[in-house]
Amino acid sequence: MKKLLQPIVVSLVILSLTACKHPGKELETVTSNAVENTDDIAKDIFTDSYGEQMEVAVNHTKNTISVHLDGKTYELKKNEDLPEYTASNAEYQYSDIKGNITFLKKNADMVLFHHKHDKKEQAASKMASY
CA distance 42 to 46: 13
pTM exceeds 0.75 for this model: no
Local structure of 17: helix, strand or coil: helix
Instruction: Please compute the mean of the pLDDT values over residues 93-109 and round it to a whole number.
Output: 85
pLDDT for residue 69: 87
Q: Which residue has the higher pLDDT, 68 or 19?
A: 68
Percent of the chain predicted with pLDDT > 70:
70
pLDDT for residue 40: 80
Q: Which residue has the higher pLDDT, 15 or 97?
A: 97
Q: How many CB atoms lie within 10 A of CB 79?
A: 15
pLDDT for residue 48: 86
In the predicted structure, residue 122 carries a pLDDT above the cut 50: no
pLDDT for residue 22: 59
Nearest Cα to Cα of residue 104 among 60, 64, 74, 83 = 74
In the predicted structure, residue 19 carries a pLDDT above the cut 80: no
Q: Which residue has the higher pLDDT, 69 or 30?
A: 69
For the chain, the domains span 41-115
